[in-house]
Structure 1
Amino acid sequence: MASEELQKDLEEVKVLLEKATRKRVRDALTAEKSKIETEVKNKKSQKKAELLDNEKPAAMVAPITMGYKVKSSNYGWDQSDKCVKIYTTLSGVHQVPTENVQVHFTERSFDLLVKNLNGKSYSMIVNNLLKPISVEGSSKKVKTDTVLILCRKKVGNTRWDYLTQVEKECKEKEKPSYDTETDPREGLMNVLKKIDEDGDDDMKRTINKDWVESREKQAKGVLRL
Protein backbone atom coordinates (compact mmCIF):
# COMPACT_ATOMS: atom_id res chain seq x y z
CA MET A 1 0.00 0.00 0.00
CA ALA A 2 1.17 3.58 -0.66
CA SER A 3 1.35 4.51 3.04
CA GLU A 4 3.49 1.46 3.82
CA GLU A 5 5.89 2.27 0.98
CA LEU A 6 6.23 5.86 2.24
CA GLN A 7 7.01 4.54 5.70
CA LYS A 8 9.76 2.32 4.32
CA ASP A 9 11.20 5.25 2.38
CA LEU A 10 11.19 7.33 5.54
CA GLU A 11 13.03 4.64 7.52
CA GLU A 12 15.67 4.31 4.81
CA VAL A 13 16.21 8.07 4.65
CA LYS A 14 16.66 8.13 8.42
CA VAL A 15 19.33 5.40 8.18
CA LEU A 16 21.15 7.28 5.43
CA LEU A 17 20.92 10.50 7.41
CA GLU A 18 22.63 8.87 10.39
CA LYS A 19 25.49 7.68 8.16
CA ALA A 20 25.93 10.87 6.13
CA THR A 21 28.81 13.13 7.04
CA ARG A 22 28.80 15.69 4.26
CA LYS A 23 26.69 18.82 5.01
CA ARG A 24 25.24 19.03 1.53
CA VAL A 25 24.17 15.38 1.64
CA ARG A 26 22.74 15.76 5.14
CA ASP A 27 20.72 18.84 4.06
CA ALA A 28 19.30 16.99 1.07
CA LEU A 29 18.40 13.95 3.19
CA THR A 30 16.84 16.18 5.87
CA ALA A 31 14.68 17.92 3.27
CA GLU A 32 13.61 14.56 1.81
CA LYS A 33 12.87 13.26 5.31
CA SER A 34 10.57 16.25 5.99
CA LYS A 35 8.84 15.79 2.65
CA ILE A 36 8.16 12.09 3.27
CA GLU A 37 6.97 12.76 6.83
CA THR A 38 4.47 15.30 5.47
CA GLU A 39 3.18 12.79 2.93
CA VAL A 40 2.86 10.12 5.60
CA LYS A 41 0.95 12.51 7.84
CA ASN A 42 -1.42 13.47 5.01
CA LYS A 43 -2.06 9.83 4.15
CA LYS A 44 -2.90 9.05 7.77
CA SER A 45 -5.30 12.00 7.96
CA GLN A 46 -6.97 10.95 4.72
CA LYS A 47 -7.37 7.37 5.93
CA LYS A 48 -8.81 8.53 9.24
CA ALA A 49 -11.34 10.74 7.45
CA GLU A 50 -12.41 7.83 5.25
CA LEU A 51 -12.92 5.62 8.30
CA LEU A 52 -15.04 8.29 9.97
CA ASP A 53 -17.19 8.67 6.83
CA ASN A 54 -17.78 4.94 6.73
CA GLU A 55 -18.83 4.91 10.38
CA LYS A 56 -21.40 7.70 9.94
CA PRO A 57 -24.97 6.38 10.15
CA ALA A 58 -27.14 6.65 7.10
CA ALA A 59 -29.10 9.85 6.89
CA MET A 60 -32.24 9.60 8.95
CA VAL A 61 -35.38 9.74 6.85
CA ALA A 62 -38.32 11.22 8.66
CA PRO A 63 -41.07 8.64 8.81
CA ILE A 64 -44.08 9.42 6.69
CA THR A 65 -47.19 9.27 8.78
CA MET A 66 -49.66 7.64 6.47
CA GLY A 67 -52.29 6.64 9.00
CA TYR A 68 -55.42 4.83 7.95
CA LYS A 69 -58.57 6.65 6.99
CA VAL A 70 -61.59 6.54 9.28
CA LYS A 71 -65.00 7.25 7.77
CA SER A 72 -67.26 9.15 10.13
CA SER A 73 -71.01 9.70 10.04
CA ASN A 74 -71.32 11.10 13.55
CA TYR A 75 -72.67 14.63 13.40
CA GLY A 76 -75.41 16.93 14.57
CA TRP A 77 -76.96 19.83 12.72
CA ASP A 78 -78.86 23.04 13.24
CA GLN A 79 -79.87 25.98 11.09
CA SER A 80 -80.37 29.70 11.00
CA ASP A 81 -82.10 31.82 8.38
CA LYS A 82 -78.91 31.91 6.28
CA CYS A 83 -76.94 28.77 7.11
CA VAL A 84 -77.20 25.08 7.87
CA LYS A 85 -74.66 24.23 10.57
CA ILE A 86 -73.15 20.76 10.86
CA TYR A 87 -71.16 19.83 13.96
CA THR A 88 -68.79 16.84 14.16
CA THR A 89 -66.73 16.00 17.23
CA LEU A 90 -63.07 14.96 16.78
CA SER A 91 -60.93 14.92 19.90
CA GLY A 92 -57.82 17.10 19.50
CA VAL A 93 -58.77 18.48 16.07
CA HIS A 94 -57.99 22.02 17.24
CA GLN A 95 -54.35 21.01 17.73
CA VAL A 96 -53.59 19.93 14.15
CA PRO A 97 -52.32 22.47 11.56
CA THR A 98 -55.06 24.50 9.91
CA GLU A 99 -54.23 23.12 6.47
CA ASN A 100 -54.90 19.59 7.74
CA VAL A 101 -58.63 20.35 8.02
CA GLN A 102 -60.17 20.55 4.56
CA VAL A 103 -63.78 20.84 3.40
CA HIS A 104 -64.88 20.62 -0.22
CA PHE A 105 -68.34 21.93 -1.13
CA THR A 106 -70.60 21.37 -4.10
CA GLU A 107 -74.10 22.73 -4.55
CA ARG A 108 -75.67 19.62 -3.02
CA SER A 109 -72.87 18.04 -0.95
CA PHE A 110 -69.78 18.51 1.15
CA ASP A 111 -66.92 16.33 2.28
CA LEU A 112 -64.66 16.86 5.27
CA LEU A 113 -61.10 15.51 5.47
CA VAL A 114 -58.94 15.83 8.59
CA LYS A 115 -55.36 14.66 8.00
CA ASN A 116 -52.96 13.18 10.54
CA LEU A 117 -55.06 13.47 13.68
CA ASN A 118 -53.56 11.10 16.25
CA GLY A 119 -52.04 9.08 13.42
CA LYS A 120 -55.30 8.76 11.48
CA SER A 121 -57.18 10.62 8.78
CA TYR A 122 -60.89 11.24 9.24
CA SER A 123 -63.36 11.55 6.39
CA MET A 124 -67.02 12.56 6.43
CA ILE A 125 -69.06 12.85 3.23
CA VAL A 126 -72.64 14.11 3.08
CA ASN A 127 -74.34 13.91 -0.32
CA ASN A 128 -77.80 14.84 -1.59
CA LEU A 129 -78.39 17.84 0.65
CA LEU A 130 -82.07 18.67 0.91
CA LYS A 131 -81.65 22.00 -0.89
CA PRO A 132 -78.86 23.69 -2.86
CA ILE A 133 -76.17 25.67 -1.05
CA SER A 134 -73.81 28.45 -2.09
CA VAL A 135 -70.34 26.97 -2.62
CA GLU A 136 -68.62 30.35 -2.34
CA GLY A 137 -70.53 31.33 0.78
CA SER A 138 -69.93 28.07 2.65
CA SER A 139 -67.02 27.64 5.08
CA LYS A 140 -65.67 25.79 8.11
CA LYS A 141 -64.51 26.66 11.61
CA VAL A 142 -62.32 24.60 13.92
CA LYS A 143 -63.17 24.79 17.60
CA THR A 144 -62.07 22.78 20.62
CA ASP A 145 -62.54 19.11 19.64
CA THR A 146 -65.11 20.17 17.04
CA VAL A 147 -65.32 21.03 13.35
CA LEU A 148 -68.20 23.34 12.43
CA ILE A 149 -69.26 23.25 8.77
CA LEU A 150 -71.33 26.20 7.61
CA CYS A 151 -73.42 25.52 4.50
CA ARG A 152 -74.77 28.80 3.19
CA LYS A 153 -78.36 28.40 1.98
CA LYS A 154 -78.72 29.37 -1.65
CA VAL A 155 -82.21 30.60 -0.85
CA GLY A 156 -82.25 32.34 2.52
CA ASN A 157 -85.08 32.30 5.04
CA THR A 158 -86.14 28.80 3.99
CA ARG A 159 -86.48 26.08 6.57
CA TRP A 160 -84.88 22.66 6.11
CA ASP A 161 -86.92 19.91 7.76
CA TYR A 162 -84.17 17.42 6.98
CA LEU A 163 -80.47 17.65 6.16
CA THR A 164 -80.53 15.34 3.15
CA GLN A 165 -82.99 14.17 0.56
CA VAL A 166 -82.38 10.56 1.59
CA GLU A 167 -83.33 11.35 5.18
CA LYS A 168 -86.54 12.98 3.97
CA GLU A 169 -87.48 9.97 1.85
CA CYS A 170 -86.80 7.56 4.71
CA LYS A 171 -88.95 9.55 7.13
CA GLU A 172 -91.80 9.82 4.65
CA LYS A 173 -91.78 6.06 4.11
CA GLU A 174 -92.29 5.59 7.84
CA LYS A 175 -95.45 7.72 7.85
CA PRO A 176 -98.75 5.77 7.61
CA SER A 177 -100.44 6.29 4.26
CA TYR A 178 -104.14 7.20 4.09
CA ASP A 179 -105.86 6.53 0.79
CA THR A 180 -109.06 8.61 0.56
CA GLU A 181 -110.44 6.35 -2.16
CA THR A 182 -110.37 3.21 0.02
CA ASP A 183 -112.79 2.21 2.72
CA PRO A 184 -112.19 4.44 5.82
CA ARG A 185 -112.53 1.35 8.00
CA GLU A 186 -109.60 -0.24 6.12
CA GLY A 187 -107.41 2.75 6.89
CA LEU A 188 -108.42 2.57 10.53
CA MET A 189 -107.64 -1.13 10.65
CA ASN A 190 -104.19 -0.42 9.19
CA VAL A 191 -103.53 2.13 11.92
CA LEU A 192 -104.68 -0.32 14.60
CA LYS A 193 -102.47 -3.01 13.09
CA LYS A 194 -99.48 -0.64 13.17
CA ILE A 195 -100.17 0.14 16.84
CA ASP A 196 -100.53 -3.56 17.63
CA GLU A 197 -97.14 -4.24 16.05
CA ASP A 198 -95.19 -1.30 17.45
CA GLY A 199 -97.06 -0.06 20.52
CA ASP A 200 -96.40 -0.99 24.13
CA ASP A 201 -98.77 -3.11 26.27
CA ASP A 202 -100.51 -0.15 27.94
CA MET A 203 -101.24 1.46 24.59
CA LYS A 204 -102.59 -1.81 23.19
CA ARG A 205 -104.95 -2.30 26.19
CA THR A 206 -106.23 1.26 25.91
CA ILE A 207 -106.87 0.99 22.18
CA ASN A 208 -108.57 -2.40 22.52
CA LYS A 209 -110.80 -1.09 25.33
CA ASP A 210 -111.82 1.97 23.29
CA TRP A 211 -112.44 -0.21 20.24
CA VAL A 212 -114.70 -2.61 22.18
CA GLU A 213 -116.66 0.24 23.76
CA SER A 214 -117.12 1.88 20.37
CA ARG A 215 -118.40 -1.35 18.82
CA GLU A 216 -120.84 -1.84 21.74
CA LYS A 217 -122.24 1.68 21.31
CA GLN A 218 -122.71 1.08 17.59
CA ALA A 219 -124.54 -2.19 18.32
CA LYS A 220 -126.90 -0.49 20.83
CA GLY A 221 -127.71 2.15 18.29
CA VAL A 222 -128.73 -0.48 15.71
CA LEU A 223 -130.99 -2.26 18.22
CA ARG A 224 -132.82 0.96 19.02
CA LEU A 225 -133.65 1.44 15.38
Structure 2
Amino acid sequence: MLIWKSKETMADTLAALRSLMSSHSPPLHALIIPSEDYHQSEYVSARDKRRAFVSGFTGSAGLAFITMDEALLWTDGRYFLQATQQLSDQWKLMRMGDDPPVDIWMANNLPKDAAIGVDTWCVSVDTAQKWECAFAKKQQKLVQTTRNLVDEVWKNWLPAQENPVIVHPLQFAGQSVADKLKELRRKLVLGKARYYYNST
Protein backbone atom coordinates (compact mmCIF):
# COMPACT_ATOMS: atom_id res chain seq x y z
CA MET A 1 0.00 0.00 0.00
CA LEU A 2 1.33 3.43 -0.90
CA ILE A 3 1.26 6.18 1.72
CA TRP A 4 1.04 9.56 0.02
CA LYS A 5 3.19 12.36 1.21
CA SER A 6 2.77 15.78 2.69
CA LYS A 7 3.31 18.92 0.64
CA GLU A 8 6.75 19.32 2.22
CA THR A 9 7.80 15.76 1.42
CA MET A 10 6.52 16.18 -2.14
CA ALA A 11 8.75 19.25 -2.48
CA ASP A 12 11.70 17.19 -1.21
CA THR A 13 10.98 14.53 -3.83
CA LEU A 14 10.95 17.09 -6.64
CA ALA A 15 14.16 18.66 -5.32
CA ALA A 16 15.87 15.26 -5.16
CA LEU A 17 14.80 14.41 -8.72
CA ARG A 18 16.03 17.77 -10.00
CA SER A 19 19.38 17.16 -8.34
CA LEU A 20 19.68 13.80 -10.09
CA MET A 21 18.66 15.41 -13.38
CA SER A 22 21.45 17.97 -12.99
CA SER A 23 24.08 15.35 -12.21
CA HIS A 24 22.97 12.96 -14.96
CA SER A 25 25.24 12.55 -17.98
CA PRO A 26 24.19 14.39 -20.03
CA PRO A 27 22.44 16.83 -17.68
CA LEU A 28 18.68 16.70 -18.20
CA HIS A 29 16.47 19.73 -18.80
CA ALA A 30 13.38 17.65 -18.12
CA LEU A 31 12.27 14.21 -16.97
CA ILE A 32 9.27 12.22 -18.23
CA ILE A 33 7.60 9.82 -15.78
CA PRO A 34 4.98 7.64 -17.47
CA SER A 35 2.30 5.66 -15.63
CA GLU A 36 3.25 2.40 -17.31
CA ASP A 37 5.59 -0.28 -15.99
CA TYR A 38 8.21 -2.27 -17.90
CA HIS A 39 5.42 -4.33 -19.52
CA GLN A 40 3.46 -1.29 -20.75
CA SER A 41 0.61 -2.09 -18.37
CA GLU A 42 -1.83 0.68 -17.45
CA TYR A 43 -2.79 -1.00 -14.18
CA VAL A 44 0.53 -1.52 -12.44
CA SER A 45 1.66 -3.06 -9.16
CA ALA A 46 2.28 -0.83 -6.16
CA ARG A 47 6.06 -0.90 -6.67
CA ASP A 48 5.67 0.46 -10.22
CA LYS A 49 3.47 3.46 -9.38
CA ARG A 50 6.31 5.90 -9.94
CA ARG A 51 4.15 8.64 -11.46
CA ALA A 52 1.78 8.40 -8.51
CA PHE A 53 4.72 8.51 -6.09
CA VAL A 54 6.17 11.73 -7.47
CA SER A 55 2.89 13.58 -8.09
CA GLY A 56 0.40 12.24 -5.55
CA PHE A 57 -2.11 11.59 -8.34
CA THR A 58 -3.36 8.00 -8.09
CA GLY A 59 -5.48 7.67 -11.26
CA SER A 60 -4.52 4.83 -13.59
CA ALA A 61 -3.71 7.06 -16.59
CA GLY A 62 -1.42 10.04 -16.75
CA LEU A 63 2.08 11.29 -17.42
CA ALA A 64 4.26 13.41 -15.14
CA PHE A 65 6.76 15.86 -16.58
CA ILE A 66 9.34 17.64 -14.45
CA THR A 67 11.62 20.50 -15.46
CA MET A 68 13.91 22.54 -13.25
CA ASP A 69 11.10 25.06 -12.74
CA GLU A 70 7.83 23.24 -13.31
CA ALA A 71 5.99 20.01 -12.61
CA LEU A 72 3.12 19.12 -14.93
CA LEU A 73 0.73 16.21 -15.08
CA TRP A 74 -1.25 15.17 -18.17
CA THR A 75 -4.36 13.06 -17.73
CA ASP A 76 -7.67 12.51 -19.49
CA GLY A 77 -11.21 13.63 -18.74
CA ARG A 78 -11.96 10.67 -16.46
CA TYR A 79 -9.54 12.07 -13.91
CA PHE A 80 -9.73 15.88 -14.08
CA LEU A 81 -11.62 16.21 -10.80
CA GLN A 82 -9.48 13.63 -9.01
CA ALA A 83 -6.29 15.28 -10.21
CA THR A 84 -7.36 18.73 -9.00
CA GLN A 85 -8.03 17.21 -5.59
CA GLN A 86 -4.80 15.23 -5.33
CA LEU A 87 -2.17 17.46 -6.95
CA SER A 88 -0.39 19.95 -4.71
CA ASP A 89 0.12 23.56 -5.78
CA GLN A 90 3.61 22.54 -6.98
CA TRP A 91 1.92 20.73 -9.88
CA LYS A 92 0.01 22.01 -12.88
CA LEU A 93 -2.77 19.87 -14.34
CA MET A 94 -2.68 19.55 -18.12
CA ARG A 95 -6.06 18.45 -19.43
CA MET A 96 -5.83 16.12 -22.43
CA GLY A 97 -8.11 17.41 -25.16
CA ASP A 98 -7.91 20.99 -23.89
CA ASP A 99 -4.22 21.68 -23.33
CA PRO A 100 -1.45 20.98 -25.87
CA PRO A 101 -0.37 17.32 -26.09
CA VAL A 102 2.71 16.48 -24.08
CA ASP A 103 5.08 16.17 -27.06
CA ILE A 104 3.98 19.51 -28.52
CA TRP A 105 4.21 21.25 -25.13
CA MET A 106 7.70 19.88 -24.54
CA ALA A 107 8.94 20.86 -27.98
CA ASN A 108 7.54 24.38 -27.68
CA ASN A 109 8.48 25.14 -24.07
CA LEU A 110 11.92 23.65 -23.67
CA PRO A 111 15.08 25.31 -25.00
CA LYS A 112 16.82 24.34 -28.19
CA ASP A 113 19.09 21.31 -27.70
CA ALA A 114 17.25 20.34 -24.49
CA ALA A 115 17.89 16.82 -23.18
CA ILE A 116 14.66 15.14 -22.06
CA GLY A 117 15.18 12.06 -19.92
CA VAL A 118 13.00 8.96 -19.68
CA ASP A 119 13.35 5.37 -18.60
CA THR A 120 12.72 3.95 -22.06
CA TRP A 121 11.58 0.62 -20.64
CA CYS A 122 8.43 2.46 -19.52
CA VAL A 123 7.40 3.78 -22.96
CA SER A 124 6.54 2.07 -26.22
CA VAL A 125 8.75 2.39 -29.30
CA ASP A 126 5.90 4.20 -31.10
CA THR A 127 5.60 6.77 -28.32
CA ALA A 128 9.35 7.35 -28.16
CA GLN A 129 9.53 7.83 -31.93
CA LYS A 130 6.62 10.30 -31.84
CA TRP A 131 8.38 12.34 -29.17
CA GLU A 132 11.69 12.26 -31.04
CA CYS A 133 9.96 13.52 -34.18
CA ALA A 134 8.48 16.47 -32.25
CA PHE A 135 11.81 17.23 -30.55
CA ALA A 136 13.80 17.19 -33.80
CA LYS A 137 12.36 20.56 -34.84
CA LYS A 138 14.47 22.30 -32.17
CA GLN A 139 17.31 19.76 -32.03
CA GLN A 140 16.01 18.54 -28.70
CA LYS A 141 16.75 14.93 -27.84
CA LEU A 142 15.13 12.11 -25.91
CA VAL A 143 17.71 10.61 -23.55
CA GLN A 144 17.53 7.14 -22.04
CA THR A 145 18.39 7.59 -18.38
CA THR A 146 21.19 5.45 -17.04
CA ARG A 147 18.78 4.26 -14.34
CA ASN A 148 15.23 5.04 -13.28
CA LEU A 149 15.68 8.28 -11.36
CA VAL A 150 12.41 7.87 -9.44
CA ASP A 151 13.69 4.57 -8.04
CA GLU A 152 16.78 6.41 -6.79
CA VAL A 153 14.58 8.79 -4.79
CA TRP A 154 11.92 6.31 -3.67
CA LYS A 155 13.63 5.05 -0.50
CA ASN A 156 10.74 2.85 0.65
CA TRP A 157 10.37 1.15 -2.72
CA LEU A 158 8.09 -1.82 -2.30
CA PRO A 159 9.17 -5.43 -2.97
CA ALA A 160 7.90 -7.19 -6.07
CA GLN A 161 4.56 -8.89 -5.70
CA GLU A 162 4.48 -12.61 -6.32
CA ASN A 163 1.22 -14.15 -7.47
CA PRO A 164 0.59 -17.72 -8.60
CA VAL A 165 0.27 -18.48 -12.31
CA ILE A 166 -3.22 -19.63 -13.23
CA VAL A 167 -3.56 -22.19 -16.02
CA HIS A 168 -6.93 -21.85 -17.74
CA PRO A 169 -8.86 -25.07 -18.40
CA LEU A 170 -8.56 -26.43 -21.94
CA GLN A 171 -12.19 -25.54 -22.69
CA PHE A 172 -11.27 -21.84 -22.32
CA ALA A 173 -7.66 -21.90 -23.55
CA GLY A 174 -8.39 -23.86 -26.72
CA GLN A 175 -4.99 -25.57 -26.67
CA SER A 176 -2.72 -27.06 -24.04
CA VAL A 177 0.37 -25.16 -22.87
CA ALA A 178 2.59 -27.75 -24.57
CA ASP A 179 0.77 -27.35 -27.90
CA LYS A 180 0.93 -23.56 -27.74
CA LEU A 181 4.66 -23.62 -27.00
CA LYS A 182 5.25 -26.07 -29.85
CA GLU A 183 3.40 -23.80 -32.30
CA LEU A 184 5.21 -20.70 -31.03
CA ARG A 185 8.60 -22.37 -31.47
CA ARG A 186 7.65 -23.44 -34.99
CA LYS A 187 6.89 -19.79 -35.83
CA LEU A 188 10.16 -18.66 -34.26
CA VAL A 189 12.06 -21.00 -36.55
CA LEU A 190 10.09 -19.79 -39.60
CA GLY A 191 10.75 -16.19 -38.67
CA LYS A 192 14.43 -16.86 -37.92
CA ALA A 193 13.93 -15.39 -34.45
CA ARG A 194 15.71 -16.42 -31.28
CA TYR A 195 13.01 -15.43 -28.79
CA TYR A 196 9.54 -13.93 -28.50
CA TYR A 197 8.53 -11.25 -26.00
CA ASN A 198 4.91 -10.55 -25.12
CA SER A 199 4.17 -7.80 -22.60
CA THR A 200 0.51 -8.72 -22.02
Same fold (TM over 0.5): no
Q: Normalising by the residue count of structure 1, what TM-score does the alignment of the two structures yield? A: 0.19
Larger strand proportion of the pair: 1
Give the structure with higher Rg (CA): 1
Structure with greater proportional helix content: 1
Question: TM-score, with normalisation over the residues of structure 2?
Answer: 0.21
